[in-house]
Structure 1
Amino acid sequence: MSSSQASLAGQWNQLRLSGIIIKPPRLFRSPSGVSHLKFVLEHKSEQVEANLPRRSYVRINIVFSGQQADFWSEKLKQSDAVTVEGFLNREEDSSGQGKLVLHAQQLVKI
């Protein structure tokens, strides 16, 4: 497989997740002036795996950027139920610990 084929093979990165906002959303601006809204989403459900019920529990950091961040910063609060669609990216915290972050492209308040 050529390097161009390998890069095309990994193009799909899309996730939809619903849950409850468990920490108050926080709006900030990057040095270049781009708005970013950050919050933590908690998801709990029961899924089926190998024909058996399995509890699913996820906590993930969400980042919503651009003009929509300003809009949602006035509409979202802790305990709101939302569905978020976007892509996953790895970010490092101040200690160098890597974490997955969902970069929201669409958000629906449930």
Structure 2
Amino acid sequence: MDLSTNQFVIDGNVCKPAKVTKSPAGISHLHFALEHISEQFEATLPRRSYVRIQVVFSGAEASEWVTKLTVGSAVQVRGFLNRQEDNNGLAKLVLHAQQLKMI
């Protein structure tokens, strides 16, 4: 069984200011929080969907995006989900963006 598929696409608004960090290897990482609110259907009934997720976009383009993304900017993020632990050992899902698009 092939378990290699891990793709996620979501539209939302930037809800925390974007910032760029550099790894010890010199790779730029853009970090921001994305908020998504919509109505989805589950078992033919409407359901409110609310998601807030951390996004990381890595590579040479990261520093270009930091000036484009302001709180309230509407973006579409395409990438993969990964588990990340904070300093207290608590795990959370982080969306590692492979593609960003203003909408």
TM-score class, shorter-chain normalisation, is over 0.9
Q: Determine which structure has the larger strand proportion and give its number.
A: 2
Identical-residue share of aligned pairs (%):
56
Structure of higher CA gyration radius = 1
- Residue from 46, 49, 56 that aligns with 1:53: 46
Query: Which residue in the other structure is 2:89 paired with?
Result: 96
Distance 1:94 1:35 in 2: 21
User: RMSD over aligned Cα, in angstroms?
Assistant: 0.7
The answer to whether 1:42 aligns with 2:35 is yes
CA apart distance, 1:74: 2.0
Amino acid corresponding to residue 59 of structure 1 in structure 2: R
CA apart distance, 1:55: 0.5
After superposing on structure 2, the runs of 4+ consecutive aligned residues of structure 1 that deviate more than 3 Å are none
CA apart distance, 1:90: 0.2
Distance 2:67 2:13 in 1: 17
Query: Which residue in the other structure is 1:78 paired with?
Result: 71
Q: Determine which structure has the larger helix proportion and give its number.
A: 1
Distance 2:76 2:44 in 1: 26
Query: Which residue in the other structure is 2:99 paired with?
Result: 106
Equivalences, count: 103
Return the TM-score normalized by structure 2: 0.97
Return the TM-score normalized by structure 1: 0.91
Amino acid corresponding to residue 37 of structure 1 in structure 2: L
The answer to whether 1:20 aligns with 2:13 is yes
Distance 1:93 1:26 in 2: 18
Q: Secondary structure at the match of 2:54?
A: strand
Query: Which residue in the other structure is 1:66 paired with?
Result: 59
